[in-house]
Structures are given as C-alpha cells and as structure tokens.
Amino acid sequence: EDKVVQSPLSLVVHEGDTVTLNCSYEVTNFRSLLWYKQEKKAPTFLFMLTSSGIEKKSGRLSSILDKKELFSILNITATQTGDSAVYLCAVGASGNMLTFGGGTRLMVKP
C-alpha cells in the first residue's frame, strides 16, 4: 500500500522565520511528488517534482526531491502571515492516482 508521511504535523513560527516541511513516501512505481497549499478550502498547486536534486523555486518557496532517500522538503523563507495554511504533499505512482499525506499545518504569527 502506498504511503505518504508529512512532518511536523503542525508548526508555529514568527514572521521572517524560515521553515522546512518534510514529506517521506513509500510507493510502488514512483512518478512524481506534488506540493499543494490549502488555506481555507480548495488546495492550490505549488510544485511538481520528478527528478532528484533539482530544486523548484517560486518566490520565497522552494522544494527538492531525493528519490534515493524517498523524501522531499518544502522550504519557505522570510515567512509572512499569508503563508499560514495546511501544506499537502501528494505522490503519484502506479495507477495514476495521487496518494496524499496528512498535511502540515503552518501558522505564522506577526
């Protein structure tokens, strides 16, 4: 059975801090790893990673994948209150379905 585990479960930081969110996985026939941000309702797509060691970057957010150690990290630098959300990691594997992790709830205090 495919498995995706995110850590920490929740995190409270102050504005300006840097945070690292973790996602580890055990899946058959890995194809891609995706990060989503869920603020209130609908998750929105952040990154898709398919190759090890290649950093994807968008503003203050960046992510990298390690296919040997089976994990990914999502970094957020200079956090802002608007970064407060649940961050979801999902892995696409055999059967073309996505398996989601439990999410990390990030709260950024002013």
Partner 1 sequence: DGGITQSPKYLFRKEGQNVTLSCEQNLNHDAMYWYRQDPGQGLRLIYYSQIVNDFQKGDIAEGYSVSREKKESFPLTVTSAQKNPTAFYLCASSIDRGRAQVRTGELFFGEGSRLTVL
- Please tell me the total number of residues recorded for the chain in this structure: 110
Nearer to partner 1, 4 or 74 (CB): 4
Interaction of residue 53 with partner 1, rule CB under 8 A = no
H helices of the chain, in order, are none
Cα four-point dihedral sign 17, 81, 24, 68: negative
Residue 6 binding partner 1, by CB under 8 A = yes
Residue 12 touching partner 1 (CB under 8 A): no
Candidate list 21, 98, 106, 108; residue touching partner 1; CB under 8 A: 98
The answer to the question of residue 67 lying near partner 1 (CB under 8 A) is: no
- Facing residues of 24 across strands? 5, 71
The secondary structure element, H or E, covering residue 109 is: strand 104-109
Out of 17, 22, 32, 75, name the contact with partner 1 by CB under 8 A.
32
Is 34 among the residues that bind partner 1 (CB under 8 A)?
Answer: yes
Tell me whether residue 72 is exposed, middle or buried, using C-beta atoms within 10 angstroms of its C-beta: 0 to 12, 13 to 18, 19 or more: buried
Binding site for partner 1 (CB under 8 A): 4, 6, 9, 31-32, 34, 41-45, 47-48, 88, 90, 92, 96-98, 100-103, 105
